[in-house]
Amino acid sequence: MKRKCFILLVLIFSLASAQDLVDIVAPFYSYDFDNLHYNGSYPYSYPVRNSAINTGNPLGVALGSATVASGRMTPELTVNPANLAMSKYSIIQVNGLFNRYNNVNQNSFSGASYIVSVPVYRGSLSFAGGITREKDYHLYYQNDDIIQRSTGGLYNWRFASAIEIQKDIFVGAEVSLLSGRRNNDINFKNASPSETAGFIENNKYFGIGARIGMNYHFLPVLMAGVSLDLPTNLGVSYSLRLYDVAGSSSVDYTAKSPAVFRAGLALTLKLLDLYYSFDYANWQNLTVRSRDLTQVAVDALNHDIQNNFGITQAHHFGMALHVPLLPLHFYFGYQYLPDVYQGLNAFRLRNLVPNQLTDRFRSSFSWGASFFLKQGLSITAAFETYYVFYDAEKEKPKNTSLSLAYYF
């Protein structure tokens, strides 16, 4: 009976606040979470609340997402649409995703894209369209009290164009349509027959976003780039159902993400390329609106966002090695991904991997390779390992991305 009252409290609180802050930010920012990293008061007390791994195209993953100024090395959809203007070929690409978390494997379609390079009198002009699995909500967690399963994904339908407006200056723009779902199943293992054994949460997403970018090839071996992710409006339909209660309760709301500013540099040599990207976002600008909730509840939720969230400054490093006389390339990357909650640790070179609960950031190491086959075929593989510290242990989610592309 005690556990059932707790579950009913969860139901009432969830619908009153349109989910807690962790769930609201989940579609926009990927990180692993434990209850010790949450500053607010909330009846959830599970060791792991959410796991959302960033995915994407294999070349970008292998370079640690340091792709703001990587146009000459990443002929694919990246965080900077201006990169497309540097592609001299039309490309068809298909990607697959294979990940492993807590000894559970999951395979899925990761995306597909079509890039068209249009012949023009001077400069270059490209168009692109495709779908990318931006987030993979894959989690299995078990302890003496609960079993938690999270499934689903967030897909991004992307339409972009880029042009070389004058020699060595490239600009681009992209419009995105987001859709997907995230399901969370909590089962209480020690519940008696008279108690509620658990509950199921469902989130359905649909939204729209856009980004713009520019690259400048100001020296033969140096390129600089900037891009801006405009605020994304995401509609969310949230429902919660208890195991032993017929029907479910739901609430709809809209979340508007903050703008994300990105800047990057690329050093391109004959046998070696170096890449760096920096992301800046103020998550206090995340806002929530809802017709299903009272204005008092909406205001309280937005105040909680301002009181708990802060500024994130992420760092991405990438390196590419080109094998002489062979169409073979190797890639390496590192990412520092701070938590959206206030009080995060500052970036320090001596602390690249979180090693205690107070280290409120994720990091990842990645590597990959690409090889051109005959008749314009290219195969690419990327392997990435995340590091995050929670529940008194260091966890290492892993994912593999594979791509097959045809250049013509």
Question: What is the rounded distance in angstroms from the CA atom of residue 265 to the CA atom of residue 278?
Answer: 9
Structure confidence at residue 389 (pLDDT): 73
Question: What is the rounded distance in angstroms from the CA atom of residue 1 to the CA atom of residue 194?
Answer: 7
Structure confidence at residue 358 (pLDDT): 72
Domain that holds residue 130: 2-407
pLDDT above 60 (res 215)? yes
pLDDT class of 76 with cuts at 50, 70, 90: confident
Structure confidence at residue 381 (pLDDT): 94
Question: What is the rounded distance in angstroms from the CA atom of residue 219 to the CA atom of residue 333?
Answer: 24
pLDDT above 70 (res 13)? no
The number of domains in the chain is 1
Structure confidence at residue 185 (pLDDT): 87
Name the percent of the chain lying above pLDDT 70: 85
pLDDT above 90 (res 142)? no
Higher pLDDT, 30 or 280: 280
Contact between 344 and 362 (Cβ < 8 Å):
no
pLDDT above 90 (res 104)? no
Q: At what angle do helices 295-308 and 2-17 cross, to 10 degrees?
A: 90
Question: What is the rounded distance in angstroms from the CA atom of residue 56 to the CA atom of residue 403?
Answer: 11
What pTM, to 2 d.p., does this model score? Answer: 0.89
pLDDT above 80 (res 49)? no
pLDDT above 80 (res 105)? no
Structure confidence at residue 122 (pLDDT): 77
| Mean pLDDT score, 99-109 | 75
pLDDT above 60 (res 37)? no
Contact between 293 and 329 (Cβ < 8 Å):
no
pLDDT class of 195 with cuts at 50, 70, 90: low
Least confident of 105-114, 143-152, 256-265: 143-152
Structure confidence at residue 343 (pLDDT): 64
pLDDT in tens, 245-295: 777 788 899 999 999 999 999 999 989 999 999 999 999 999 999 998 889
Least confident of 128-132, 136-140, 277-281, 363-367: 136-140
CATH number for position 237: 2.40.160.60
Output the CA–CA distances (angstroms, integers) from residue 297 to 13, 14, 290, in the order listed.
11, 11, 9
CA atoms lying within 13 Å on the CB side of residue 193 = 0
Token reading at 8: 């009913």
What element of type H or E holds 13?
Answer: helix 2-17
Q: Which residues pair with 212 in a beta bridge?
A: 173, 228
DSSP string, 91-123: EEEEEEEEEEETTEEEEEEEEEEEEEEEP-SSS
Which has the closest alpha carbon to 50: 139, 152, 147? 139
Structure confidence at residue 42 (pLDDT): 39
Of the segments 42-46, 107-111, 261-265, 311-315, which one has the largest average pLDDT value? 261-265
pLDDT class of 301 with cuts at 50, 70, 90: confident
pLDDT class of 48 with cuts at 50, 70, 90: very low
Residue with tokens 């205001």: 299
